[in-house]
Structure 1
Amino acid sequence: MQAETSSLTEAERNVEEAQNGLTPFHKIVLTGGPCGGKTTALARLSSFLRERGFEVISCPEVYTILASNGLSSGFYTTEGIDEVIQNAVLDVQISLEDSLSNVLKARGKPAVLLCDRGPMDGKAYLSDEKWNKILESRGLSEVDLRDTRYNAVYHMVSAADGAREFYQLDNNTARSESPEEACILDKQTQRCWLGHPHMYVLDNSTDFETKLQRLVNLVAKLVGLPTDLSRRSVKFLLRSKPRAENFPNTINYHVFEVEKVYLLVQDDPGDGSYRFIRKRTIVTREGERKGTVYQLTEARRSGRGELVELKRIITAREYSASYKSRDLSRHIVRQERICFLYEHQSFTVHIYENPAPGLCILHAQVESTHDEKPVVKLPDFLDVERKLVGPDDAMKYGSYALSVIDGASEKNLISPFLSS
């Protein structure tokens, strides 16, 4: 075995280490409707990350590559060609992303792959029947294309929705949508990516420069860089479990089964650091389980004293191996989660099955700085009792605190409210 390892090139060893989580590698998607600011955002993120020591490659939008090399609107006069084109886009997208990922991993340095759109964008341009046909022909599920490939998804809302005076398509000859069409396409694209555990929607409630800075702060937090963002979610206690009939027809939602297992912290510094693995399975309206994603989260204090969470998608085998080092002083947390978008904000209802059966907590993904109070537009179709604030609520309703088995040591309960 040693001889085999020593025969690997430096690049091959680097890839192996990245796949084992020893070298930070992040793959993220920037998506959104026409004229949302993706091109400028990609350039800003590339500079920001490179200046801070990351290797960065941008994966270009595949449809634009095809359109700028001869694919024209005239092709669509052929019946059924939309499905053929999206199949071609998917082929190139997956191959290009995977190839560029390997190049970055082979460098052996912290790296980020910035993807200008991703595979799920194609769903916005096809009927459900045609999209499902493509997936079935490839033996894929939406979980494969959406949840297991990316660390985060950032949706840049089209200027047509909220900043119409700035809507223009001069910099993209592949696009020709009117403002009304752009708004429709923007919402369709949001629905396509809904369900990813780390999806963020950046609307036009601020000026464009602030919109870009919000994005930079989000990415900085993802990769473990210092940021002035003070929290990732705001939480509310619900009086009752929401049911399907509670959701208006205009609100799309996904249901997941979640198992969270806290692990023993090696060389525990006693500062609130924690580790957990999570298994997240999508459940259809008919109760069918369609795919599972496994993730490892490690949270440690930075040099500035901030608790920084680093997340990594892992395999089922890694999940099983990590499970053996679970913290036996804590319950395995099991929940049903319902995620949806409302007024450009991402929400998830956490419905506990173990411990605290029946407890329902609404999480709103809202970013704010230390000087700002997060603004949440609460869904009017949910029965919200009150906002959860302060350490008392954290100890009573945070999953980290709830997981402690009665009678077990309750040390390290510094950070339960941050654990989601």
Structure 2
Amino acid sequence: MFRYSCRLLSNVCQHQLQLTKGFQEAAIMSQDIGHNKNKVYKVVLTGGPCGGKTTGQARLSTFFESLGWKVYRAPETALVLMSGGVKFTNLSKLEAYKFQENLIRTMKQIEDTYFELANTCPQNCLVICDRGIMDASAYLPTEDWAQMKADNNWNEIQLRDNRYNQVIHMVSAARGAEMFYTVAGHQTRHESINQAIELDQITAGAWVGHPYYDVIDNTTGFEGKVMRMISAVCNRLGIDTGDRLSTNSKKRKFLVTGVLDWTIFPPHQKFMVTHDYLVTPSRKMQARIRKRGQNGQWTYTHTIRRPEINEESVELRMAINSRDYEILLAQRDYRHYSIYKKRTCFLWNNHYFHLDEYEDPCPPGCKGLILLETYTTLEGDDLKVPDFLQIEQEVTGNSKYSMFNLSIKEEMDRTKSDASIDSRDV
């Protein structure tokens, strides 16, 4: 068991080395079947009308192909089916229900076809899904979606969290870039600005709860928006883009003392999360596993953060199964407490937030601790924090609130550990 765990850890480290040696070297390595680990990464691009999804998909494809990756693009299933003459306004309630159910089944089959191809690809492979299953669920009444899940034995942890590695919401130009919103030249787009805003909010809300959800808003020009989208994918994969992409998005963290008013809290998803740190060859390296879920359904993640490269700590996250999780858990570092959180995920003011409430049993420094986190390009007071939360102060970059530091048992030398800490951990 120990040998298997070490081999798994070694494989992840090799992935990390491949992803951070530069673009040319990565391209060469990805063509070398003997050394390739066949990285498969599945991304959903979603968003309201006129958000840049189509252009973004093409640019994302070109970028990863330039790194030597194979890229597959799963088409938008709804567009394919609707182009066959279907009009929702002409369908009865039952017909609309069955059409949406078959749309999701068709989407699953189309995506699975590309996923299978990716799994046998002799290169690192990126699969871009033009919308995903939760987009289709957004257009169903709550009771219909519940019935459909029951009829098909579906659950949202599998359809939303486990099926895709990352979800990127490209905010409609109708929200913050109104002068650029247009329906001209688009055969299926006819929404007014108000309708576009509503559709954008509906699709955004459908994905709340996904563990790696990035919202790309209109705070920059369109070129900057596309660059931020590509950079979001690279950051999650641990690819060092150097100066090739220009982005200043960073995590900001706030200390919260309570929720002022739950009645105005936006739609949200709640999860239970457990973090455990693992033994590593060097104290300069962090490794941890995470178990995250709701209603008895779970996702598992293995994260390794390597020592600083070019003044940045490089991180790789990979989804694992329950068996690998249990094997790795045997390598838990007992110099650290296990961390238990209740995580509330929500969208507010075009930003995706995590509200983490630390649960018992917890380390002494976590008693009653509540932290709010988001990724943003906004600096200082330009970022508006939720007014239904009681924010005490911003603690971005404060090592006291690094989860790694919070988990350290008192007998461990904190001074030595602080030198290797990157407070961006989640």
* 1:248 counterpart (264, 272, 276): 264
Aligned to 1:350: 356
Provide closer, same or farther for how the CA distance between residues 247 and 378 of structure 1 changes in structure 2, counting only shifts above 3 A: farther
* 1:48 counterpart (60, 63, 66): 63
**Is residue 2:80 matched to residue 1:76?**
no
**Contact 2:37 2:124 (C-alpha < 8 Å) held by counterparts:** no
**CA distance in 2: counterparts of 1:32 and 1:389, whole angstroms:** 29
In angstroms, what is the RMSD of aligned CA positions?
2.2
**Is residue 2:94 matched to residue 1:90?**
no
Aligned to 2:305: 299
Aligned to 2:274: 259
Deviations 1:352-376 (A, max 9, x none): 12122211111122247xxx76942
Provide closer, same or farther for how the CA distance between residues 399 and 119 of structure 1 changes in structure 2, counting only shifts above 3 A: same
Provide closer, same or farther for how the CA distance between residues 416 and 306 of structure 1 changes in structure 2, counting only shifts above 3 A: closer
Provide closer, same or farther for how the CA distance between residues 79 and 239 of structure 1 changes in structure 2, counting only shifts above 3 A: closer
Larger CA deviation: 154-163 vs 289-298: 289-298
| TM-score when normalising by structure 1 | 0.85
Count of aligned pairs: 382
Aligned to 2:24: none
Residues 328-339 of structure 1 mapped to structure 2, 5 A cutoff: 328-339=334-345
**CA distance in 1: counterparts of 2:408 and 2:164, whole angstroms:** 31
**Contact 1:295 1:314 (C-alpha < 8 Å) held by counterparts:** yes
Letter in 1 for 2:293: T
Aligned to 1:275: 287
Partner SS for 1:239: strand
**CA distance in 1: counterparts of 2:40 and 2:371, whole angstroms:** 32
Partner SS for 2:209: coil
Segments of structure 2 that go 5 or more residues without pairing to the other structure are 1-32
Letter in 2 for 1:405: K
Letter in 1 for 2:323: R
The Cα of 1:85 is off from its aligned counterpart by 1.6
Aligned to 2:393: 386
Aligned to 2:384: 377
Aligned to 1:405: 409
**Is residue 2:392 matched to residue 1:365?**
no
Aligned to 1:61: 76
**Contact 2:308 2:314 (C-alpha < 8 Å) held by counterparts:** yes
**Is residue 2:119 matched to residue 1:109?**
no
**CA distance in 2: counterparts of 1:31 and 1:213, whole angstroms:** 16
**CA distance in 2: counterparts of 1:143 and 1:349, whole angstroms:** 19
The Cα of 1:224 is off from its aligned counterpart by 2.0
**CA distance in 2: counterparts of 1:27 and 1:373, whole angstroms:** 33
**Is residue 2:172 matched to residue 1:168?**
no
**Contact 1:273 1:301 (C-alpha < 8 Å) held by counterparts:** yes
The Cα of 1:180 is off from its aligned counterpart by 1.3
The Cα of 1:183 is off from its aligned counterpart by 0.8
**Contact 2:38 2:121 (C-alpha < 8 Å) held by counterparts:** no
Partner SS for 1:400: helix
**CA distance in 2: counterparts of 1:190 and 1:88, whole angstroms:** 22
Deviations 1:329-367 (A, max 9, x none): 110011111111110011111111212221111112224
**Contact 1:259 1:335 (C-alpha < 8 Å) held by counterparts:** yes
The Cα of 1:294 is off from its aligned counterpart by 1.2
**CA distance in 1: counterparts of 2:372 and 2:187, whole angstroms:** 42
**CA distance in 1: counterparts of 2:89 and 2:396, whole angstroms:** 56
**CA distance in 2: counterparts of 1:108 and 1:75, whole angstroms:** 46
**Is residue 2:239 matched to residue 1:221?**
no
Residues 158-197 of structure 1 mapped to structure 2, 5 A cutoff: 158-197=172-211
Letter in 2 for 1:203: D
* 1:153 counterpart (167, 171, 176): 167
**CA distance in 2: counterparts of 1:281 and 1:344, whole angstroms:** 24
**CA distance in 2: counterparts of 1:113 and 1:387, whole angstroms:** 37
Partner SS for 1:168: coil
Residues 4-23 of structure 1 mapped to structure 2, 5 A cutoff: 22-23=37-38
Letter in 2 for 1:407: E
The Cα of 1:205 is off from its aligned counterpart by 2.2
**Is residue 2:318 matched to residue 1:318?**
no
Aligned residues: percent identity?
33
**CA distance in 1: counterparts of 2:72 and 2:327, whole angstroms:** 32
**Contact 1:366 1:374 (C-alpha < 8 Å) held by counterparts:** no
**Contact 2:48 2:203 (C-alpha < 8 Å) held by counterparts:** yes
**CA distance in 1: counterparts of 2:383 and 2:115, whole angstroms:** 36
Partner SS for 1:71: coil
**CA distance in 2: counterparts of 1:133 and 1:291, whole angstroms:** 18
